[in-house]
Amino acid sequence: MRRLALVLIAFLTGPALAAEEAGEPEADPLFVDGTEIEIDAFHWLKRTVVVFADSPNDPRYIQQIDLLEERPEALRERDVIVLTDTDPKSESALRERLRPRGFMMVLIGKDGTIYLRKPFPWDVREISRSIDKMPLRQQEIKDRRADPIR
């Protein structure tokens, strides 16, 4: 019985250990519940897309999440994290700061600047274009071209 447990542990943890040893980073979560998050935690680390709705059943909210899930690699490439808040009664720090009315999508830069507020869903292509116009993103692109090791 003990051998079986050891074999199962080795079998189940083997791939994770191999990936860790190979230097593969763990995937950052792309979608995070924003009701308990302080937005300043991402200052200078991540660009934040905040998606608000009064219910997780709001068709615009569902459409926005579907659009974001279609191209997660484009968002990760731009250091984006998506915070969601579908509970208007939560009085979360995000709601207090950004004051949404119903559905709203907000794009916040790494510097904390609010770049977009949209009352309708946007696809990743439009969001990516907006991010790529940001001064800090322009600098990141320039630095990446100058450093061929990345």
Q: Listing from the earlier edge strand, what are the strands of the sheet with 47-52?
A: 31-33, 80-85, 47-52, 104-108, 114-118
Domain chopping of the chain, boundaries: 26-146
Q: What is the pLDDT of residues 68-117, one digit of tens each?
A: 999 999 999 999 999 999 999 988 999 999 999 999 999 999 999 999 99
pLDDT recorded at residue 146? 81
The structure's pTM equals: 0.77
Compute the distance between CA of residue 35 and CA of residue 10 in angstroms, rounded to an integer: 37
**Domain 26-146 -> CATH class:** alpha beta
